[in-house]
Chains A and B, each alone.
Chain A
Amino acid sequence: MRGLLSRLGSILESDPRKNPNAVVYLVLAVATIAFPIGVQVATRGSGSFLISQAADAGVYILLAIGLNVVVGFAGLLDLGYAAFFAIGAYTYAFVASDHLEFTPIHQALHIPFWIALLVGMFAAAGAGAILGAPTLRLRGDYLAIVTLGFGEIVPRLFRNASTWTSGVNGISALDTPALPIWLNGPWSGDALAIVQNFKIIDPLAYYVIMAILVAISVLLVNNLRRSRMGRAWMAVREDEVAAAAMGVNTVGVKLLAFSIGAAFSGFAGTFYGAKLSLVSPENFGFTVSITILIMVVLGGMGNIPGVIVGALLIYYVIFNILPGLPQQASDFANSIGATSLNSPSGDWPGLAGEVQRLKYLIFGLILVLTMLLRPQGLLPSRQRAEELQKGVHDDTTIEDVNAETT
C-alpha cells in the first residue's frame, strides 16, 4: 500500500512530457471511477448494461496485458492466445457447476470462485508450459504456426469431446461468484449495510472487481517489467545469442513469459465464464486471438498503458460502434430524405443490410489506416518506437555467428 501511494505521488509530480504514461494512468484511474457514476447519471439509473459491458471490456484488458508480456516483452508471436482463454473458462465450468455430474465422473464440483480463478489460471499456465517447452526451442516463425494450430485445436477439442464438454451446446448454469463480504448502499438500491456471502449478480459489483483485478495486474506486470526477468525478456527479444552468452537461460525465460501470458488468459477466461455463466466452444475462435493481438499492436506493443487504451478502443469499436452502424446508416439516410436507400430492391439489401455486410470491411479499413498513420501504436514504448524508426539490427541466428568465423 505504501508503495502504491508513493507511486501515485510520483505520478502526480512527474513531468508529463517526460513520462506520458503517468498521465495515461491517471486519466484511466479517474475514468474508471467516474464511468459508472457518469453512466448512471446520464441514463437516470438504467445504465446497468453499459457498466456490464465495461466489465466485459476489462476481461479484454486482462487478456491484452497478458499477451503483451508474450508479444511485447519477450517478442514471441502467439497466434493462439484464445486457447488459454478457453482453457480458463472451461476449467471454471468443470469445477464450478453441476456439469461434472453428467460426465463419466458423476460427481459435481463446486469450488468457490476465488479459488477457481487460481485453478483456471494455473490450468492455463500449465497448458502454456506444456505447449511452450518443446516449441520455444524453435525460432520465432515456427512458434507462430504452432500456437496458431493450438488455437484451432483447443476449441475443436472442447466441441468434439462432447461426453465431457457437452459439445456445441457448451456448459451452462455455472456458479455465480460470491464474495465473502460486500458493501450494500444507495448505489445498489439498498440501505447502507455490510452483507456476507454476497452473490455477484449486480453489474456494478463485476465492474468494481474487474477494475481492482486490472489495477493489481498492471502493478504486478509493471514490477515484472522492471525486474531481472523483464530485462532478460528484453534481451532475448533483441539478441538471443548474446543473451545466452551473458548467462540468460533463453528457453527458460521465454517459457516463463509464455506461461505468464497463458495464466493471464486463463484468469480472464475464468472470470469471463463466471460472469456469462456459460461457456461454449464458439466463444474462443481465431478471431478472439487476433482481436487481442490487434489490441496489443494498435495500443503500443510493450507499453502497458498503451495496451490498455488499445484494448478499450478496439473493444468499443467492435462491440459498440460496429453493431450500431447499420441502424445509424439507415437513420442517417432517412434524416437526409434519401429513404429510397433503405428499401431493398433487387440485389440491394437496403442501406442497413449493406452496412451490416460491410462492417468488418470498415473495421479493417480503420485498422489499416491507424497502422499506416501510427505504425508504432497509439502509445508505444520508447524502445519500440525507436526500433521502428531506426530499424532493428539483423535478426542474427547461430548460423550467422558461424558465418563470422570464415
Chain B
Amino acid sequence: MTVEAAADPILRIDHVTKRFGGLVAVDDVTFDVKKGEIFALIGPNGAGKTTLFNGITGIFPPTAGRIVFQGREITGAKPHQVAAFGIARTFQNIRLFEYMSSLDNVRLGQHCRMHAKLWDSLFKTPAEHREEQRVTDRAMELLQFVGIEQYTHIYARNLPYGSQRRLEIARALATNPALLLLDEPAAGFTPQEKVELMGLVHKIVDQGITVFLIEHDMKVVMGVSRRIVVLDHGEKIAEGTPEQVRRDQRVIEAYLGTQH
C-alpha cells in the first residue's frame, strides 16, 4: 500500500451533530477514517459512540453535518442503501436472526448483492438456482473465515456467545463491504478470545476492508489500531496514535481517570 493510498479517506465525518430533544448525543464531531486502516473510536459509556454508528448507517440520520463515504455524501440515506453503498456493521447487543440458521444469517447478508427478481424466485429459474448456489458457497466460506463452520445449520440463538459475535461479523462481511463498523466486538470476551478476535480483525483488514471499531477495552484498542478518536459527552476530545492518545491529558481525565 502506498502512502497516498493510505491517506485516502474512505469515510469523512464532517461536523456531525445528533440531538435527541435537549440531549446532544454527538456534538460537532469531525474526523476521517482512512482507507485500509483499523480505526478505533473510544470513550466512556454514553459518550455517543453508538449514536455516531447509527448516524453513519442511516438508522438515525444526524441532526447536522455531513457524512461522506468514498467521496459520496450519504447523510440521510436509508440503512439498506448504506449497506448497498458498502458499509456493514455489527451491533453492540448482538442482533442476529435468532431463528435462522447460521448459514441463512450469512446468506441473508448477501441480499443486497443478489439479483434474483420475484419472477426468478417464483419459478426457480436456472439463473436463480446458480445464484443461490454461489451465495451458499460464499456463506460457507465466510463461516469458515470467522471459524464457526461447525455451526452451519444451527439456529443462531443456540450458538455460544463468542460464536454469535463471530457470526455477526460473518453476516456483515457477507454484504461485501468496503468499510466494516464493529460495535464493541470484544464485549464479554475472555482475554484469550480477545486475542483471537484481534487476529480476525487483522485478517479482515488484509482482505482490503477498512475496519472502524468501537471498543471499551483500552488494551485491545491500543494493540490493534493505528489511529484512535476519543469521544466524551458527544465531543471529540482527542485524535491520534495510541501513544498520543494515551498521553493526552483530557483523555486521561475523561476516560482513563484514576486508573493511570
- A interface residues with partner B (beta carbon < 8 Å): 3, 220, 223-224, 227-232, 234-235, 238-239, 241-250, 256, 383, 386-387, 390, 392-393, 396, 398, 401-402, 404-406
Question: A residues within 8 A CB of B128?
Answer: 227
The CA of A249 and the CA of B83, in the complex, are separated in Å by: 10
Measured in the bound complex, the distance between the Cα atoms of B49 and A343 in whole Å is: 79
Contact status A242-B96, CB under 8 Å: yes
Structural contact, A245 and B121, CB atoms closer than 8 A:
no
Q: A239-B95, A246-B171, A404-B93 are in contact. Are A229 and B121 (CB under 8 A)?
A: yes
A242 touches B97 (CB 8 A): yes
Shortest distance between the CB of A122 and any CB in chain B (Å): 13
Contact A231 B100 (CB under 8 A): yes
**B210 within 8 A of partner (CB):** no
Closest CB pairs A-B (n = 9): A247-B112, A247-B83, A227-B121, A244-B79, A242-B95, A405-B50, A405-B51, A383-B99, A238-B97
| Nearest CB of B to A244, in Å | 4
- Contact between A405 and B123 (Cβ–Cβ < 8 Å)? no
Enumerate chain B residues within 8 angstroms of A229, measured Cβ to Cβ: 116, 118, 121
Answer whether residue B104 sits at the interface, using C-beta atoms and an 8 A cutoff: yes
Question: Considering the chains assembled together, what is the distance between the CA atoms of A157 and B57 in angstroms?
Answer: 44
C-alpha spacing A197/B58, complex, angstroms:
58
Contact call B59/A245, Cβ cutoff below 8 A: yes
B227 CB within 8 Å of chain A: no
Chain B residues, Cβ within 8 Å of A398: 59-60
Residues on B with beta carbons closer than 8 Å to the beta carbon of A248:
80, 108, 111-112
User: Are B124 and A223 interface neighbours, CB within 8 A?
Assistant: yes
Distance in Å: Cβ of B136 to nearest Cβ of chain A: 11
A3 close to B97 (CB less than 8 A): no
Contact B97 A247 (CB under 8 A): no
Q: Which residues of B are found within 8 Å of A247, using beta-carbon distances?
A: 80, 83-84, 109, 111-113, 175
Most buried by A among B60, B89, B98: B98
CB distance from B109 to the nearest CB of A (A): 5
Given contacts A238-B98, A387-B99, A405-B51, contact A228 B111 (CB under 8 A): yes
Contact B78 A244 (CB under 8 A): yes
In the assembly, what is the distance between CA of A393 and CA of B49, in Å? 24
Asked if residues A3 and B112 are in contact (CB atoms below 8 Å), the reply is no
- CA–CA, A402 to B111, complex, Å? 25
Report whether A238 and B57 are in contact in the complex, using a CB–CB cutoff of 8 Å: no
- Chain B residues, Cβ within 8 Å of A392: 98
